[in-house]
Amino acid sequence: MNYEQALEYIHGTLRFGSKLGLENIRMLLDWMGNPHKKLNHIHVAGTNGKGSTTAMISQIMIEAGYRVGMYTSPYIEEFTERIQVNGVQIDKQHLADIADQVKKLIEIMVREGHNHPTEFEVVTAIAFQYYCDLECDCVILEVGLGGRFDATNVIEKSLISIITSISMDHMEWLGDTIGKIAYEKCGIIKENGLVVVYPEQEPDAQEVIDQVVSEKNANMIKVDSSTAKVISNTIEGITFDYDKYKALNIRLLGEHQVLNAMTAITVAELLNNRYHLEITEEHIKRGLGKTLWPGRLEVLSHEPLFLIDGAHNMSGVRALSGAMKRYACTKQIIFIIGILRDKEYEDCLAELGRIADTVITTTPLNNRAVPADELGHIAKKYCSQVYVEHQIAKAIARGIGISGSNNAICCCGSLYLVGEVRKIFKETYK
């Protein structure tokens, strides 16, 4: 296979849907020689902040001189973003070569009467093999969906399990209450394992976390945010103190990123104290300062101020709303919004409509997208000036066309939309 053929094969497995259970991925990896068992893992689950926290930990470990695999989803522009080692995306031909091997094994599995693995299982198997091929010291493994039955949970042990912020999302898969969702996320907690928990969880989520930790006889470290002090918070980044650390700088925007950074610091300290990895305060400072995470309150332009953010659930949208009120407090705000149908899109529109001067609705490139005209009809309940542009490029052009020096434009609602906007913006407006 070449890279294009590999992607065609991988995306073609989407027709096999999603299946609960780990039997398929276990069998496939067993036939591959169990590459995941040759690796050390840090496992990250949660609703919001998984990717940012994963990126921060990865960068801190890179600064400390380790070879670090990072597995994330979804991608923003290029599929290879999902599988990285030391910040470098997987080589396209290397991916194709592994995909070819995996495809041949799956063909045998199916001939013997076993289920065909899902797309995410196939990608996860490829990633494990790649990290093994490159002899990674550690892999930061972000859960795809949930935790308990997620393909990444095929790992039998982890150095540390991390539970980031838990809120309502993917209710059709994970349950209709915070408690049920938290239970699925906590499926990554291992017997007698070490667990780091993001601060300021919803009480119902924390109650479930406590219960699972007790049942698994795990050791929980709950990040303490009481010693954090934000010194400055501007569109250029955030400076804060935390515990013994002074004047830490992060380029990721939004005060929720300070909480993600504290979670990453806690993990780095545990790697140092429990596993004797040589991670110093300087590695932590440099790692946090260098971390970038595309599509999360990312500034694409200052004139006009144009941001993109993958907020797609109420927790994320509230964080975005608070950030926009801070970073664009003297500006009129234009939102370009596209959302998938399985999200709480009316509630999201209501929240953003409170601070929006203009809303432009568009249709993300996904078959689950809410059509722009339907979204626009709802948006008119919450904002007096609404435009409908079905094509994403036209939505961007409309936003820039009506903006002036006192406007801020923010595109949000779905990572599928944000990725396309990022690509169009770079090609057309840079």
- The residue extents of the domains of the chain are 3-290, 298-428
Structure tokens at 65: 């001189």
Q: How far is CA 425 from CA 14, 292, 306, 394, 396, in A?
A: 29, 18, 10, 11, 8
**Cα separation, 244 vs 251, whole angstroms:** 20
CATH 3.40.1190.10 fits 3-290, yes or no: yes
Question: How confident is the model over 174-230, as pLDDT tens digits?
Answer: 877 999 999 999 999 999 999 999 998 999 999 999 999 999 999 999 999 999 999
Label residue 18 by pLDDT band (50, 70, 90).
Answer: low
Domain boundaries 298-428, corresponding CATH code: 3.90.190.20
Cβ atoms 270, 194 nearer than 8 A: yes
Q: Are 358 and 332 in contact (CB under 8 A)?
A: yes
Element (H, E) at 80: none
Q: Would you say 47 and 315 are in contact if contact means Cβ atoms under 8 Å apart?
A: yes
Q: Distance of alpha carbon 189 from its chain centroid, rounded?
A: 19
Model confidence at 371, in pLDDT bands (50, 70, 90)?
very high
Q: What is the pLDDT of residue 175?
A: 76
Instruction: Indicate the helix (H) or strand (E) that contains 57.
Output: helix 50-63
- Average pLDDT across the chain, whole number: 95
pLDDT in tens, 266-307: 999 999 999 999 999 999 999 999 999 999 999 999 989 999
According to DSSP, the residues that pair with 245 across neighbouring strands are 242
Question: What was the pLDDT predicted at 176?
Answer: 78
Is the confidence at residue 360, as pLDDT, over 70?
A: yes
Binned at pLDDT 50, 70 and 90, residue 380 comes out as very high
Query: Considering only CA atoms, which of 349, 360, 415 is closest in space to residue 393?
Result: 360
Confidence of residue 429 (pLDDT cuts 50, 70, 90): confident
pLDDT band at 405 (very low <50, low <70, confident <90, very high): confident
Q: Among 7-16, 128-137, 149-158, which is the least confidently predicted range?
A: 7-16
Helix, strand or coil for residue 106?
helix
- The answer to whether residues 125 and 29 touch, using CB atoms and an 8 Å cutoff, is yes
pTM: 0.95
**Contact by Cβ (8 Å): 181, 166:** yes
